[in-house]
Structure 1
Amino acid sequence: MEAQVPSLPPVQARKSLQASDRRSGYGLLSPAILVIAVVTLFPIVYSVFMSLNDIQLTTSGYKMSFIGLKNYGVLVNSGVFWHSVWFTVYYAIVTVIVELVLGMLIALAIQNVQRLQGVSIVVMLIPWSLITVISAQMWGYIYNGVYGVLNYIVTSLHIVSQPVTWLGTPVSAVISMMVADIWKTTPFVVIILVSGLQMIPKDYYEAAYIDGANKWEVFWNITFPLLRGSISLAALFRILQAFGVFDLPFVLTNGGPGNSTESLAMLGETSLFQNLHFGIGASIAVSTVILVLAVCLIFLSAFRSMVEGDAA
């Protein structure tokens, strides 16, 4: 007697089963979604609400008065705010570009190392693993105009005739802060790019060298196109981090000299916690988020256009 092969369930039964699976999945995800909503979405929504109000402290707490977009009007007419915007934007652009270039060079060097590759990666992670406050304090000692090691080196080599106050002028303070940031965050870019390089099949390189391609042609036609996903990921993360820079200038320069190194995050902290202008501080935070989203969208659009142009 032949065994009967069970028939497939009807279409409606399959749809019902899929719907039941989806409900079960949503049920399992609901605690995580709730936590994300409470921890992330609620503060964002409440910050937007605060930015539309005039908040005054009272003996019993605080009082909110809806004023619409007046806080944003104050920012638009504030020279300090626009200076912080300009500083944050060019600080992010310069540091991210330099980190991507250095990260690429270091990643290629590590990839070509036959021995001690793991040790090289571990050593690269040391700056990134340091807490930013600690690394900023360390760089503060290096830049110190009296006993800093940088002044000792440049005066010993007769590069300068007398010690330099590296954090004492706007230009030198900005450059010094960028150097400290690049030193700390380049390893993050290196790790991402090394991971991307290891995913490229070696057969491509062997075929290219057999065809007579030199190292530059191999890099430009094979490595760089296949590494664009890793480059875009590293750039996106670094843009987000660079626009939120706070602890490095807070410890290293405290926004000075003057307000030459005052980022948007520092300006928001000053308004919120020092001047107690909660509405203004919230509007700075919301404006920063909008600016970061706009920059990320522009970057992603440019990257997508570049990829589509190459594909065509």
Structure 2
Amino acid sequence: MPNTATRSGPDAPPPAPPPAEAAARRPAASQLQRRGARLGWLFASPALLVIAAVLLFPIVFSVVMSFSNVDVTGSGIHLSGTTTGNYGILFDSPRWRHALYFTVLYTIGTVVVEIVLGTAIALVLERLKTGRGWMMALLLMPWAMITVISAQLWAYIYNGVYGVLNSVLHPLIGHDVNVLGTPVEAAVAMAAADIWKTTPFVAIIVLAGLVMLPGDIVEAARIDGASAWTTFWQVRLPLLRPTLAIAVMFRILQAFGLFDLPFVLTNGGPGTSTESLAVLGYRVLFTDLKFGPGAAVATSTAVLVLLGCLLFLKVFRAQVGTEEN
């Protein structure tokens, strides 16, 4: 029979407190936690108030302005009444529809290319045994560069008279090349500049995901005779989906709010061919001084980004749940 005698000596566990004493400790601990939570909110309140003033108030005011009749006077802007006419003007505008089409197409194209290139670069960096830190530092230089500065550099490269690209291609084709002068070439050139800048960001995120993958699963696949290509597609890539989802989410948010690159590089041109929703909203607000429709552009863009992110997360969660089952 097992020994049920009470252990004694230095190795014996401490005796359990009586039920009444344990019950008395729980309210004291809960009260201490509540006090710590209140103290934490007290210390965080100044930062939260600044965030609310800088971030939340402009958002709320923009939404209110998009549903109001806005009059521009010498003393500022005046809101009067409630209306949905700003959104009626917006949805009937072919310029807004073109900006929406361009922004969606640009976002999908650049994000797909960046995910593919970033994953490939991350796989190469993972295999590096020496010099990985230097390569990562060099890789992050385009990402660390301010977008306005990088856009100016690419504008110099694309210039049709003295640009680097024109100097390379002119002897080959016999005439000057102005890629920013035609709609399709300008959109491709802008996408190339964006991909050059943001692919390192994706590569670093994917590299972090690759480093965190469990090595025993990959090793088991190799022992079973799976090739490197099969191991990547059937083992590593499914495990990388949460990491790739984070990268895609960040890039969708950044690409859909594209402003500084087209504003500096193409100014939305030629014509309005590379005009994004952010550039359109800026021009309607601050060039045309139509604050109601401009606020409607900003609000509708934010809603579209939110809906797109929620749809993406829903599809991603459904795929992960199916695989786990």
Structure 1 segments of 4 or more deviating over 6 A?
Answer: 3-6
**1:227 aligned counterpart, secondary structure:** helix
Of 180, 186, 207, 1:167 maps to 180
Gaps of 5+ in 1: none
Letter in 1 for 2:207: V
On the 8 A contact 2:170/2:177 being kept in 1, the answer is no
Pairwise CA distance, 1:12: 4.3
Structure 2 unaligned residues grouped into runs of 5+: 1-13
Mapped partners of 1:60, 1:307: distance in 2: 55
Aligned to 2:47: 32
> What amino acid sits opposite 1:122 in the alignment?
A
The equivalent position to 1:217 in structure 2, one of 216, 219, 230, is 230
Q: Which residue of 1 aligns with 2:160?
A: 145
Aligned match of 1:111 in 110, 126, 133? 126
Q: Which whole-Å deviations, capped at 9, do the CAs of 1:105-132 have from their partners, x for residues lacking one?
A: 0110111112211111111111111111
Partner of 1:8: 22
CA distance in 1: counterparts of 2:70 and 2:111, whole angstroms:
37
Matched, 1:120 2:135: yes
Q: In 1, Cα distance between the equivalents of 2:174 and 2:113? A: 29
1:68-112, Cα deviation, whole Å (9 max, x unpaired): 211011001100011111111111110001000000001101111
For 1:41-60, list aligned pairs within 5 A. Answer: 41-60=56-75
Letter in 2 for 1:279: G
What TM-score do the two structures reach when normalised by structure 2? 0.90
Report the CA distance shift for 1:4/1:105 in structure 2 as closer, same or farther (over 3 A). closer
- The normalised TM-score by structure 1 is 0.93
**Deviation string, structure 1 residues 225-276 (Cα, Å, up to 9, x no partner):** 2211111111100000001111100111100011000001101110111111
What per-residue deviation string (whole Å, max 9, x for no partner) do you get for residues 185-214 of structure 1?
000001111111111133332222121110
Alignment of 1:153-192 (within 5 A): 153-156=168-171, 158=172, 160-192=173-205
Q: Does 2:318 align with 1:308? A: no
Report which stretch shifted further, 141-150 or 181-190: 141-150
| 2:41 equivalent to 1:22 | no
- Structure-2 separation of matches of 1:4 and 1:176: 74
SS at the partner of 1:266?
helix
- State the Cα distance separating 1:4 from its structure 2 match: 9.5
Residues 1:137 and 1:4: Cα distance change in structure 2 (over 3 Å): closer
Within the alignment, does 1:135 sit opposite 2:168 as a pair? no
Q: How much does 1:155 deviate?
A: 3.6
Q: Is contact 2:69–2:83 with CA below 8 Å preserved after alignment?
A: no
Does the Cα contact within 8 Å between 2:160 and 2:177 map onto a contact in 1? yes
2:77 aligned with 1:62:
yes
The residue identity in structure 2 corresponding to 1:51 is S
Residues 115 and 202, structure 2, Cα contact 8 Å, conserved in 1: yes
Identity across matched positions, percent = 52
1:33 shift after superposition: 2.4
After TM superposition, the structure 1 stretch with the greater mean CA deviation from structure 2, 54-63 or 9-18, is 9-18
Number of matched pairs = 308
How far apart, in 2, do the equivalents of 1:4 and 1:59 lie?
80
CA distance in 2, matches of 1:258, 1:5: 80
Query: RMSD in angstroms over aligned alpha carbons?
Result: 1.8
Q: 2:266 aligns with which of 253, 257, 270?
A: 253
Q: Distance in 1 between matches of 2:263 and 2:186?
A: 12
CA distance in 1, matches of 2:315, 2:15: 59
Which residue of 266, 281, 288 maps to 2:294? 281
Partner of 2:116: 101
Q: Residue in 2 aligned with 1:226?
A: 239
Offset of residue 309 of structure 1: 1.7
Pick one of 268, 281, 288 that aligns with 1:268.
281
